[in-house]
Amino acid sequence: MRYRSTRGEAQALDFEGVLLAGLAGDGGLYLPEHWPSFDREAQTRLPSRSYTELAQALFEPFVGNTILPADLAVMLDEAYAVFDDPDVAPMREIEPGLHVMELFHGPTLAFKDVALQLVGRLFDHVLAKRRKRITIVGATSGDTGSAAIEACRDREAIDIFILHPKGRVSEVQRRQMTTVKSVNVHNIAIEGSFDDCQDLVKAMFNDRAFRAEMSLSAVNSINWARIMAQIVYYARGALMLSREGGSVDFAVPTGNFGNVYAGYAAKRMGFPIGRLIVASNRNDILTRFFESGTMAAETVVPTLSPSMDIQVSSNFERLLYDLCDGDGAKVARLIAEFRKTGRFSVEPAQLAQARAIFDSVRIDDEGTKAEMARLYRDSGMLVDPHSAIGIAAGRAHKTKDGTPVIALATAHPAKFPDAVEAATGVRPALPHRLADLLQREERLTVLPNDLTAIEAHVRAHRRAGEAA
Ligand SMILES: *Cc1c(COP(=O)(O)O)cnc(C)c1O
């Protein structure tokens, strides 16, 4: 399998190439040159019960001959053995026809673990083969840092440095990062804001000499391998719940459009998926797009669901590529217009094409709290604000024709205890393995908002030399 850029200029690469590159050289995102196809007959032969066996079967056409099947099997087993639930993505029906799929049983209690636990291992494997090492640097406002750290901890070929604003992330979020005891994990508390942290990371990448010397890299949400890893639970849910000749719909709490795009990919591959419901909070750039055909950025407002507080959904470019019939120059023009003016519009026919598959629902903080309270009152179930948005959207969408709806639950309630307690009166407990989180020893370095100091710290603490 070869991958090409959504902007049509960059060189096509194989799986290993796109894994390591992340972003394409022309600024675009990588996509497979064609979608592997699984028709009904092929689907009946898939091992849909075992998460890792299904993943293996789905990944083989994407990975091609870049990774040996036996190596891939080991990585899959290891990645998903760290999940609390052997099912990885267990489902339960909360009312007739409305199912919740729990994607938060990984180490950091959010759905990003599903992809990152595998991607960290894929990176390590490919780097070892190439006898290379990388240094990952990233900034976090609290939420994504721990998923990246858990993905990279103990990986031989990777050192990871995560910057967070000192005193401005919640204690649970900080401790999920700073209590990881691996030698290759480095937490830096910056005396500054989250924006300062982001600026420092950008400045490190822009310092060409430093970037080359450290082999700087990122595992960001546009990496193709993250999308690929997320296709599995859509295929699995569809295979498990679709009835003869029918399909299932998915409701997806959405920020960067990465998760719901994986659902689109599963549909393109032939799995019985009907509609994809894009659920947003008040930061509703996507809802407005699906209503009007115009993508127009506004300022981000903070909500109860911070992981969806986004005004630019970077993975949307992958869908835009299909709406532009694979015309990379057209995609590049629209994205450039968006960069310059904060908006772009598609033609009515393109909007109709998108609306043939996607619905969109906006749930504000009041609606989020109401859904959390309702679920607790009706079934004793505690859900986090992101998951509540997905479930409320799924409920609003449920059709009379009996098509099952699967709402994706993207975070564990204990990840957002204050919001859950405010809505339900109950403070959710951390899962057993994290119960002593508040007693564990922390490791972090406090540094000033100063590029020279940070670069010196990274240089001094990364493990030098070639990978063995
Ligand atoms: C990242 C995240 C989302 C949004 O997913 P995208 O792939 O960015 O659309 C939703 N919920 C939670 C809890 C997240 O961490």
| Dist. CA 428 → ligand 1 center (Å) | 20
Residue 142 has pLDDT above 80, yes or no: no
195: number of Cβ within 10 Å: 11
> Which residue has a Cα nearest atom 2 of ligand 1?
307
The pTM of the full predicted model, rounded to 2 decimals, is 0.95
Nearest-angstrom CA–CA distance, 158 and 130: 13
> Which residue has a Cα nearest atom 15 of ligand 1?
307
Residue 166 has pLDDT above 90, yes or no: yes
Checking DSSP bridges between strand 91-95 and strand 98-102, what pairing results, if any? Answer: antiparallel
- Nearest alpha carbon to residue 458 among 188, 165, 219: 188
Residue 307 has pLDDT above 80, yes or no: yes
φ, ψ dihedrals at 189, nearest 5°: -95, 120
What is the pLDDT at residue 195?
Answer: 85
| Dist. CA 467 → ligand 1 center (Å) | 33
Pocket test for ligand 1, best of 100, 104, 111, 408 (most atoms within 8 A of CB): 111
Residue 259 in tokens: 């998760």
Domains in the chain, CATH or no CATH each: 91-106+224-424 (3.40.50.1100)
Mean pLDDT (whole number) for 355-378: 98
Largest CA distance in the chain: 62
The ligand 1 atom at the shortest distance from the C-alpha of residue 411 is 13
What is the pLDDT at residue 465?
Answer: 61
What is the pLDDT at residue 158?
Answer: 95
Whether 112 lines ligand 1, by a CB cut-off of 6 Å, is: yes
Q: Is the separation of the CB atoms in 309 and 283 below 8 Å?
A: yes
Q: Is the separation of the CB atoms in 443 and 178 below 8 Å?
A: yes
What is the pLDDT at residue 213?
Answer: 94
| Dist. CA 256 → ligand 1 center (Å) | 7
Nearest-angstrom CA–CA distance, 342 and 336: 9
Residue 458 has pLDDT above 90, yes or no: yes
Whether 387 lines ligand 1, by a CB cut-off of 6 Å, is: no
Residue type, 283: N
Whether 258 lines ligand 1, by a CB cut-off of 6 Å, is: yes
> Which residue has a Cα nearest atom 14 of ligand 1?
307
Least confident of 21-25, 28-32, 237-241: 21-25
What is the pLDDT at residue 220?
Answer: 78
Residue type, 357: I
Nearest-angstrom CA–CA distance, 240 and 89: 12
Residue 468 has pLDDT above 80, yes or no: no
| Dist. CA 358 → ligand 1 center (Å) | 17
Nearest-angstrom CA–CA distance, 281 and 300: 11
Whether 304 lines ligand 1, by a CB cut-off of 6 Å, is: no
The ligand 1 atom at the shortest distance from the C-alpha of residue 415 is 13
Whether 308 lines ligand 1, by a CB cut-off of 6 Å, is: yes
What is the pLDDT at residue 401?
Answer: 80
Q: Which residue has the tokens 């700087």?
A: 216
112 catalytic per annotation: yes
High-pLDDT (> 70) share of the chain, %: 99
Whether 259 lines ligand 1, by a CB cut-off of 6 Å, is: yes
Residue 284 has pLDDT above 80, yes or no: yes
Rounded to the nearest integer, the mean pLDDT of the chain is 94
| Dist. CA 260 → ligand 1 center (Å) | 9
Residue 55 has pLDDT above 80, yes or no: yes
Name every residue whose Cβ is closer than 8 Å to that of residue 61 and which is 6 or more positions away in sequence.
1, 36
Residue 465 in tokens: 């030399």
| Dist. CA 411 → ligand 1 center (Å) | 9
